Amino acid sequence: LAHLVSKVRRADFLITQLFFDNQHYFRFVERARAAGIGVPIVPGIMPIGNVAQIERFTKMCGASIPGPLFSELDRCRNDPRPWPRWAAHATAQVVDLLRWGAPGVHFYTLNRSSATREIYEALGLAPELSAAG
């Protein structure tokens, strides 16, 4: 946080790394506010599209996958198109984050927007996205 405080002097907002448990975000925001960071902190959400990929990403950045979600991911590891089920987790995350005051949401799509489109549709935010393809 000390390093972030010095960096934020040149920023209008922050985007977090990916996470799958919203309590991590809320605790981080609380600690950042206590450290004097006042800019909006936008939660970074990565819809899960591939189990191996999400395992690599979480390992690289130090994020964790909650046990129940990991069990579901592990059980469906070889499913060729599992993301519709997993998009429900990200959708629930977004609903909760916005309900409790997150200033918005940033999606890490990795140039694969289909899961993000599904989340937008589930939230009723952008029906024109489904028409646009």
Distance CA 19, CA 94 (A): 11
* Structure token digits, residue 30: 């609380």
Rounded mean pLDDT, 13-37: 95
- CB-based burial, 47-82: b 16+ in 10 Å, e otherwise: bbbbbeebeebbeeeebebeeebbebbeeeeeeeeb
* Structure token digits, residue 108: 């890490």
The predicted pLDDT at position 121 comes to 80
Distance CA 61, CA 72 (A): 21
What confidence tens digit (pLDDT) does each residue in 55-100 have? 888 888 888 888 888 888 888 777 766 566 667 888 999 999 999 9
What confidence tens digit (pLDDT) does each residue in 30-63 have? 999 999 999 999 999 988 877 888 888 888 888 8
| CA 3 to chain centroid | 23
Structure confidence at residue 126 as a pLDDT band (50, 70, 90): low
The predicted pLDDT at position 131 comes to 44
The predicted pLDDT at position 42 comes to 97
The predicted pLDDT at position 24 comes to 95
The predicted pLDDT at position 89 comes to 84
The predicted pLDDT at position 23 comes to 96
pLDDT at 133 over 50: no
Residues of the chain with pLDDT > 70: what percent?
A: 86
Contact in structure between 118 and 109 (CB atoms under 8 Å): no
The predicted pLDDT at position 129 comes to 45
